[in-house]
A = this chain, B = another copy of it.
Amino acid sequence: MKDKNYFLAKAQENMPELHCRNIIPDATEFVASDGDSILLDLGQHAVGHFSFTFDRVDVFVDAPVRLIIKFGEDMREINDDFSEYKGVLSKTWLQEELINLDYPQKITLPRRYACKYIKITIDRTTRPIRLFDFSFCASTSADVSVLKPINSNDALLNKIDIVATNTLKECIQTVFEDGPKRDRRLWIGDLRLEALTNYYTFNNLEIVRRCLYLFAAGECNELGFLPSFVYETPYYHSGEAHIEDYALLFVVSVCDYYEHTNDISVVNDLLDICKSQLDCFKSTLDDDSIVTKQNGWFAFIDWCPGLEVMTSLQGVYLYALERFAGLLKAIGDDDCENYTSLLPKVRLASKNHLYNENRNVFINSRDNNQFSVHSQVWMILGGVIDGEEAKKLLLNCLDNKKAMQPCTPYMHHYVVEAMLKLGMKDEAVQYLKKLWGGMVELGADTFWEAYVPDDLDFSPYNDRMINSLCHAWSCTPSYFIRKYEL
């Protein structure tokens, strides 16, 4: 029977092996007294466990030694004063420890960190001490030996690809994590983009299957939607949030997997769940075939403050519906026509009710005149609009200061996906180089959770300190560059 236990057993079968390697930072020894500090540079972003040895210099330390150890994904984070943090997410994600060591010893801190830099400050010692044997045991389940460089003639694209694959590598642990510094959970939206990029880079299929099954085992909410994230530690548990666009993107992720692998067994396991996600969503359409808000609904789309998301959500539905109809056709499923037949009707309704003829733009919802890049992108990806009309609409909107613009690489991904769907290869490259290239030029070793070129302090959480600087949803340039040979 395909119940929770079945799916969890499948997830367990597909547990990837973590590869660990020790990174030795630039400094090998630190002789220190009260108040001294040292900055260790790992030379690369890493996810794992930090070890070091502490011993006396000459006279034995006659009291415990207190150290403050701070981990930073970049130097801004190292220099931030965490006591001034004012963001909405828990300050406990800021990576800093206060530890007391009773006597000379080798120590491995019990928690996992994501960092490039480590700053150790001697808060209190009664005698000079020596810290040495610094080592960072970095983990990933990505097999870097299978990764081939792209060798593009464009130096910036080469760099972007390196940073993007590095970002993915860091997020591939025992699940596709959203970000190894913060959350560290499996979210559907991240899973979809990580899996896509993974197919063209490390091609770790075990972890894709594991993640799909972990969601299949999840507890649906009363509307029937999958949880939008799950915890694997310390025991499996569904997240409490149910994000509507993410539920639809689970369906897309299954379609992506089949397209890449032709593995019918996984599709057979997950087919009923995919159908239920689309069916539940369909039941929320009104008589005009336009999606309506339900009690307790939350759609994500992007971290754009104040963004109205109904039109985008309608687009995500159409996008998932079209992909799923294609899958059912490919595998010869009897229900194929039930889904395929919905497409023209809902597309037409979307154009009729969500397109504002006067302003020549899709508005963000029926009840609202707000408009944004997001709505145009999802109407394009949902097949509501196409060809030259769509190209013009998208470019105008990207160039229009009145249109709300994407805030995260997650949404930037779908802008590029829409461009490539419309055959706008040059614009896609230009967009990639502007957005992800912008981060590269600012010294990124991994791509960030949020990037607004004009506002480097932008944070979805009201404080930049908490932003994740290695975020799964930002890894997709490698997918585009490699799949479309940009």
Interface residues of A (CB under 8 A from B): 59-60, 62-66, 89-93, 97-98, 100, 102-105, 111-112, 124-126, 183-184, 231, 233-234, 237, 239-240
Instruction: Find out whether the CB atom of B124 lies under 8 angstroms from the CB atom of A90.
Output: yes
A246, chain B: closest CB distance, angstroms: 16
Q: Of residues A66, A92, A126, which shows the largest number of chain B Cβ atoms within 10 Å of its Cβ?
A: A92
Pull 23 A–B residue pairs with CB atoms less than 8 Å apart, ordered by A: A59-B240, A60-B239, A60-B240, A63-B90, A63-B92, A63-B93, A64-B92, A64-B93, A64-B111, A65-B92, A66-B91, A90-B124, A90-B125, A91-B124, A92-B100, A92-B124, A97-B100, A98-B98, A100-B111, A102-B111, A102-B184, A103-B233, A104-B234
Task: A190 to B226: give the CA distance in the assembly, Å.
Answer: 66
Instruction: Find out whether the CB atom of A89 lies under 8 angstroms from the CB atom of B63.
Output: yes
Which 8 pairs from chain A and chain B are nearest by CB? A63-B90, A64-B92, A98-B98, A66-B92, A90-B126, A103-B233, A103-B234, A92-B124
A235, chain B: closest CB distance, angstroms: 8
Task: A84 to B357: give the CA distance in the assembly, Å.
Answer: 69
By a CB distance below 8 angstroms, the chain B residues around A237 are 60
By a CB distance below 8 angstroms, the chain B residues around A104 are 234
Task: A76 to B239: give the CA distance in the assembly, Å.
Answer: 43
Task: A156 to B89: give the CA distance in the assembly, Å.
Answer: 57
By a CB distance below 8 angstroms, the chain B residues around A233 are 102-103
Task: A233 to B62: give the CA distance in the assembly, Å.
Answer: 11
A313, chain B: closest CB distance, angstroms: 24
A182, chain B: closest CB distance, angstroms: 8
A189, chain B: closest CB distance, angstroms: 16
Task: A126 to B90: give the CA distance in the assembly, Å.
Answer: 7
By a CB distance below 8 angstroms, the chain B residues around A126 are 90
A116, chain B: closest CB distance, angstroms: 20
A101, chain B: closest CB distance, angstroms: 9
Instruction: Find out whether the CB atom of A231 lies under 8 angstroms from the CB atom of B103.
Output: yes
By a CB distance below 8 angstroms, the chain B residues around A90 are 62-64, 124-126
Task: A90 to B65: give the CA distance in the assembly, Å.
Answer: 9
A56, chain B: closest CB distance, angstroms: 9
A182: nearest residue on chain B (CB-CB)? B63
A49, chain B: closest CB distance, angstroms: 12
By a CB distance below 8 angstroms, the chain B residues around A64 are 90, 92-93, 111
Given contact pairs A60-B231, A64-B111, A90-B125, enumerate 8 new A-B contacts (beta carbons under 8 Å): A60-B240, A62-B239, A63-B89, A64-B92, A92-B124, A98-B98, A102-B111, A104-B234
A435, chain B: closest CB distance, angstroms: 29
A55: nearest residue on chain B (CB-CB)? B234
By a CB distance below 8 angstroms, the chain B residues around A63 are 89-90, 92-93
Instruction: Find out whether the CB atom of A234 lies under 8 angstroms from the CB atom of B98.
Output: no
A184: nearest residue on chain B (CB-CB)? B102
A296, chain B: closest CB distance, angstroms: 14
Task: A448 to B323: give the CA distance in the assembly, Å.
Answer: 76
A68: nearest residue on chain B (CB-CB)? B98
Task: A102 to B93: give the CA distance in the assembly, Å.
Answer: 9
Task: A112 to B103: give the CA distance in the assembly, Å.
Answer: 12
A91: nearest residue on chain B (CB-CB)? B124
A466, chain B: closest CB distance, angstroms: 10
Task: A449 to B124: give the CA distance in the assembly, Å.
Answer: 24
Task: A184 to B126: give the CA distance in the assembly, Å.
Answer: 16
Task: A237 to B231: give the CA distance in the assembly, Å.
Answer: 47
By a CB distance below 8 angstroms, the chain B residues around A111 are 64, 100, 102
A276, chain B: closest CB distance, angstroms: 24
By a CB distance below 8 angstroms, the chain B residues around A66 are 91-92
Task: A98 to B98: give the CA distance in the assembly, Å.
Answer: 6
By a CB distance below 8 angstroms, the chain B residues around A62 are 90, 183, 239
Task: A452 to B89: give the CA distance in the assembly, Å.
Answer: 51
